[in-house]
A = this chain, B = another copy of it.
Amino acid sequence: MNPEQIIEALASLVAADRLVTDPDVMAGYLHDEAEWAEYEPAAAVVRPRTTEDVAAVVRWCFANRVAVVPRGAGTGLSGGANALAGCIVLAFDAMNSVLEINTDERLAVVQPGVVNDDLRAAVAVDGLWYPPDPASAPWSTIGGNVATNAGGVCCVKYGVTGDYVLGLEVVTGTGEIVRLGRRTAKGVAGYDLRGLMIGSEGTLGVITEVTVSLRPARAAERTIAGYFDSVVDAGLAVSLVSASGVIPSALELIDRHCLKAVDDWKNMGLSVDANVVLLGRCDTPGQAGDVEAATIERCFTEGGATWAAVSTDQEEADALFAARRLAYPALERLGPVLTEDVCVPKALVPEMLARIEAAAVRHDTLIANIAHAGDGNLHPLLITPVGDTAARHRAQSAFEEIIADAIALGGTVTGEHGIGLLKRDGLRAELQPAVLDMHSAIKTALDPAGILNPGKVFSAATVAATLQAEPHIVEQ
């Protein structure tokens, strides 16, 4: 089916103002922020207002074997939202209402296009807290967060997005509207299809509503900063914190490259006296929190910090965390950034950081490091000069070796960004063939026509034998 036919069909399914066909406008909907991930022109973009809009489109796609690619804000870093030639992109920016905030049950019901920070602000009015806080929180949406099971800074103590998803409304691969999960605190009726959808990157269903659990507002956080000469020293300090029994509410690592890039951009007056900065936080109230902060400070010192202190200046502490959050866009100003996302056992953080440094030297590639260090989730950021193909090839080699090292150390190729397009080889390296077969069987069971974001997570060829009509699927 050609794009004209697809557009004509969509015009009969959704209101005219829901349909985007202008190539210039569509251009903003065709890819996420993953460098080097391929994308192709979509046939059309639909910006649904209702679940019924979504179901109508998916039913038509099912009947006509046309691929559908759901997207939130496009802040993903693995190509999971990238368009395929002739596909329909479902963009959820117009389904952005908070439908309910329930203080008795401590839950909220939201449309998928609600921005993460907006949800946090909305529930804070009622003394509640939505913890999941990916660095993209000012822009990324709850739907995208759920589709990728996004992590963030708070995970070390409070878990990931999926830990806060009680229920989902989903449009299935055959265009049916289903409710998965629940509104109650507990429930074990049937298989955890809610959990199966979380992190499935739009390949098993299209999320149209999310019920999230909330926590009571928490006590103010204390911040502990430590300066280190090397990433390896900082990694040792992280291991000591983990072994101390204190669970910090954040434990982040930022290296000098990141701090400098942020400072050059935002002129925040950040110290770059250190090669590596560790930022710890704890939110246990009262004197117990003081004890925890002192313990973290001691771990930093014992790990080899050249300077460590519990911050008494909230503004300075906030600036350091803001720098952490701005590291990625700041580095992007220097050139294309390829973002790694490996996660290793916590005790092996020093070893993994040493291997990343070695890969940087071996492949003559600038690698900056930010990390959710307390989780062992590292984000080496591989920076290449614009247009330097040789540098890009060197960086690609480093990228692949870092993935192999993470697997060798008992880790995973992706801690929180997802597989998308960029980590498909990594997934094959990480999972047993029999486990990949289970993936294919489930994909086929829930998306029998292979129309849901085909080619993401794993190669389309293995799962979409039934997808016979145009458009073809990207094969990388």
- Name the one of B151, B200, B247, B410 contacting A186, with C-beta atoms under 8 angstroms: B151
Chain A positions 327 through 360: 1 when the CB is less than 8 Å from some CB of chain B, otherwise 0:
0000000000000000111110000000000000
A251 to chain B, nearest CB (A): 11
A419-445 at interface with B (beta carbon < 8 Å): 419, 423, 426-427, 430-432, 434-436, 438-439, 441-442, 444-445
A213 to chain B, nearest CB (A): 10
A244 to chain B, nearest CB (A): 8
Identical chains in the assembly: 2
Stretch among A32-40, A46-54, A282-290 lining the B interface: A282-290
Chain A interface SS verdict (over half):
loop
- Name the one of B155, B185, B198, B245 contacting A156, with C-beta atoms under 8 angstroms: B185
A288 contacts which chain B residues (CB < 8 A)? 219, 284-286, 288
Q: A155–B193 Cα gap in the complex (Å)? A: 21
Q: A287–B103 Cα gap in the complex (Å)? A: 26
Tell me how many residues of A have a C-beta within 8 Å of chain B. 90
A252 within 8 A of B: no
Minimum CB distance partner of A103 in chain B: B243
Q: A245–B126 Cα gap in the complex (Å)? A: 11
A103 to chain B, nearest CB (A): 7
- Name the one of B191, B284, B413 contacting A196, with C-beta atoms under 8 angstroms: B191
Most buried by B among A162, A189, A347, A431: A189
A75-134 at interface with B (beta carbon < 8 Å): 103-106, 127
Do B184 and A376 touch (CB < 8 A)?
yes
A387 within 8 A of B: no
- Name the one of B106, B127, B190, B442 contacting A191, with C-beta atoms under 8 angstroms: B442
A242 to chain B, nearest CB (A): 6
Do B188 and A415 touch (CB < 8 A)?
yes
- Name the one of B156, B185, B243 contacting A377, with C-beta atoms under 8 angstroms: B185
Do A343 and B187 touch (CB < 8 A)?
yes
Minimum CB distance partner of A410 in chain B: B183
A199 contacts which chain B residues (CB < 8 A)? 188, 191-192
Stretch among A63-71, A174-182, A225-233 lining the B interface: A174-182
- Name the one of B172, B377, B432, B445 contacting A442, with C-beta atoms under 8 angstroms: B445
Most buried by B among A149, A162, A192, A242: A192
Chain A positions 363 through 377: 1 when the CB is less than 8 Å from some CB of chain B, otherwise 0:
000000000101111
A411 within 8 A of B: yes
A13 within 8 A of B: no
Do B185 and A155 touch (CB < 8 A)?
yes
A297 within 8 A of B: no
A186 contacts which chain B residues (CB < 8 A)? 151, 155, 160, 343, 372, 375-377, 412, 415-416
Do A190 and B427 touch (CB < 8 A)?
yes
Q: A423–B215 Cα gap in the complex (Å)? A: 31
Q: A345–B426 Cα gap in the complex (Å)? A: 42
Most buried by B among A239, A412, A419: A412
Do B178 and A435 touch (CB < 8 A)?
yes
Chain A positions 436 through 457: 1 when the CB is less than 8 Å from some CB of chain B, otherwise 0:
1011011011100000000001
A residues in contact (CB < 8 Å) with B: 103-106, 127, 148-149, 151, 155-156, 160, 162-163, 172, 176-180, 182-193, 195-196, 198-200, 204, 215-217, 219, 239, 242-243, 245-247, 284-288, 343-347, 372, 374-377, 410-419, 423, 426-427, 430-432, 434-436, 438-439, 441-442, 444-446, 457-458
- Show 8 A/B contacts (Cβ-Cβ < 8 Å), sorted by A: A104-B242, A149-B188, A185-B375, A189-B413, A192-B195, A195-B195, A195-B196, A288-B288
15 extra interchain contacts, Cβ-Cβ under 8 A, other than A185-B374, A195-B195?
A162-B192, A180-B435, A184-B344, A184-B410, A184-B415, A186-B343, A186-B376, A188-B417, A189-B423, A189-B426, A191-B457, A193-B442, A215-B247, A438-B445, A438-B446
